[in-house]
């Protein structure tokens, strides 16, 4: 299974700690915070694969925070599972529409939680997280963390691997440096845009060895495109 990052936002210590144990045992990388403000700070540096979000939080509640997140393009498709206490109205939760991908009523069994979480991850990521992404004669195996061109294994760094993963799941679209930074590196404020250029150059060099440097195209004045149709 690819290494999914789950952000847990839960103010009750005992539940938060239980969630961390359960999710880590299930093989997820987990970051847990007690409120929406800390969660927002986490998002500034890292884009998780899913947020497990308690509804009733101090200050800003989970539903309100989720609504704000959905207004930003980068978070529109980020899966969110809402945790609710018994007694909170289910019809209200259903009314959230596309804001929430699923919800679970406390108390729930760890097994059910993990199953629902995997289901949401599968639904939300038809292409990006399937174990193999195949584009032409390129195969990216996200389980074995391996890139192959015509069945030859290509050596790439973790960053170039993520860059390839993003490109191969978003072919023929133009992305500017900021978008690539957000999608491939997460929203770190410490990384400069020219870092993208450095990694693109390295990636091209690698592809060049296989005669495939034309896959990564520069779109002057805007950014880059992974072009599979030429
Ligand atoms: Ca709570």
The 3 state secondary structure assigned to 23-64 is HHHCCCEEEEECCHHHHHHHHHHCCCCEEEEECCCCCCCHHH
How far, in Å, from the CA of 12 to the mean position of ligand 1?
Answer: 6
pLDDT in tens, 179-189: 898 888 876 55
Q: Which of 125, 144, 173 is the last residue in one of the domains?
A: 125
Structural domain boundaries, residue 14: 5-125
Q: What is the largest CA-CA distance in the chain?
A: 61
Exposed, middle or buried, 60 (CB in 10 Å: 0-12/13-18/19+)? middle
With bands split at pLDDT 50, 70 and 90, how would you rate the model's confidence at 17? very high
67 CA distance to ligand 1 middle (Å): 17
120 and 34 within one domain: yes
CA of 84 to the centre of ligand 1 (A): 8
> 33 pLDDT exceeds 70?
yes
Question: Is this prediction's pTM over 0.75?
Answer: no
Pair 93, 66: CB distance under 8 Å:
no
One domain for residues 37 and 137? no
Does residue 117 share a domain with residue 13? yes
**What is the chain's mean pLDDT, rounded?**
86
pLDDT > 90 in the chain, percent = 45
Residue list, CB under 5 A from ion ligand 1:
11, 54, 56
pLDDT for 85 equals 81
**Do 120 and 143 lie in a common domain?**
no
Provide mean pLDDT across the span 65-76. 84
Q: Are residues 66 and 98 in the same domain?
A: yes
> For position 127, what pLDDT does the model report?
42
| CB distance 48 to 6 below 8 Å | yes
Give tens-digit pLDDT for 88-125. Answer: 666 666 556 547 888 888 889 999 999 999 988 887 76
Rounded to the nearest whole angstrom, what is the distance from the C-alpha of residue 193 to the centroid of ligand 1? 38
Here the CATH number for the domain that contains residue 48 is 3.40.50.2300
pLDDT of residue 71: 82
Domain ends where: 125, 157, 174?
Answer: 125
């Amino acid at each position: 299974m690819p290494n999914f990052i789950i952000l847990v936002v839960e103010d009750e210590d005992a539940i938060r700690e239980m969630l961390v144990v359960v999710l880590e045992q299930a093989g997820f990388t987990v970051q847990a915070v007690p409120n929406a403000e800390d969660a927002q700070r986490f998002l500034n540096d890292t884009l998780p694969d899913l947020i497990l979000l308690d509804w009733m939080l101090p200050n800003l509640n989970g539903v309100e925070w989720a609504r704000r997140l959905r207004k930003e393009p980068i978070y529109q498709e980020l899966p969110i599972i809402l945790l609710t206490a018994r007694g909170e109205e289910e019809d209200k939760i259903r009314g959230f529409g596309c804001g929430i991908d699923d919800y679970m009523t406390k108390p729930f069994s760890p097994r059910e939680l993990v199953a629902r979480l995997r289901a949401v991850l599968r639904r939300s990521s038809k292409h990006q997280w399937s174990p193999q992404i195949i584009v032409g004669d390129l195969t990216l195996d996200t389980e074995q963390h391996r890139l192959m061109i015509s069945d030859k294994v290509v050596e790439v760094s973790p960053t170039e691997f993520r860059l390839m993963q993003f490109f191969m799941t978003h072919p023929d679209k133009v992305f500017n440096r900021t978008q690539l930074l957000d999608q491939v590196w997460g929203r770190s404020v410490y990384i400069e845009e020219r870092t993208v250029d450095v990694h693109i150059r390295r990636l091209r060099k690698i592809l060049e060895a296989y005669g495939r440097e034309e896959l990564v195209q520069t779109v002057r004045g805007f950014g880059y495109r992974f072009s599979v149709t030429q």
